[in-house]
Amino acid sequence: MDDSNRYERGMAMLRKTQGEGADKVMKSLESIAPDLGRFAAEFVFDDIYGRPGLDLKSREMISVAALTTLGYAGPQLRVHIGAALRVGCTQQEIIEIIMQMAVYAGFPAALNGIQAAKEVFAEFAAAK
């Protein structure tokens, strides 16, 4: 694979999942940790998200599940709930994913995840 365009490919994928927020996130990192933004674009959104084995919707569903189970990654969970909506997940699918995590991560993690989903759903509704 051509490594010279990893950043550009990663940013394209980041914009696909994060919409307008992608550039805002990268800008916020410029003054404190620009390499972290570059690593995220290149590794996460090109090397991993850009792999052919799963579609983007599946990757975001998995991300929502994983972040829900962590229980301490609320801001990232909200970002990935929004990304899941942008790539075709329905609100009901997201709710079911989070509810299933109650089995593996416990009710507190699922309740926190549902609250995050509620907030993101409201933001998306207000933006329409």
pLDDT tens digits, residue range 2-28?
A: 677 999 999 999 999 999 888 998 999
For residue 2, what pLDDT is reported?
63
Owning domain of residue 96: 54-128
Say if residue 96 is in the same domain as residue 47.
no
For residue 128, what pLDDT is reported?
82
Instruction: Quickly tell me which residue has 């929502």 as its tokens.
Output: 64
Tell which residue, 62, 36, 30, has the closest CA to residue 49: 62
pLDDT band at 1 (very low <50, low <70, confident <90, very high): low
Say which DSSP state 54 is in.
S
Say if residue 76 is in the same domain as residue 112.
yes
Instruction: Quickly tell me which residue has 């599940």 as its tokens.
Output: 65
pLDDT tens digits, residue range 58-97?
A: 999 999 999 999 989 999 999 999 999 999 999 999 999 9
Rounded to whole angstroms, the Cα distance separating 45 from 43 reads 6
Say if residue 14 is in the same domain as residue 67.
no
Say if residue 48 is in the same domain as residue 65.
no
For residue 4, what pLDDT is reported?
77
Is the separation of the CB atoms in 67 and 77 below 8 Å?
Answer: yes
Tell which residue, 106, 113, 44, has the closest CA to residue 73: 113
Neighbouring C-beta atoms of residue 17, cutoff 10 Å = 21
What distances in angstroms separate CA 3 from CA 9, 34, 110, one per listed residue?
A: 10, 19, 39
> CATH code at 68?
1.20.1290.10
Say if residue 114 is in the same domain as residue 75.
yes
pLDDT tens digits, residue range 100-125?
A: 999 999 999 999 999 999 999 999 99
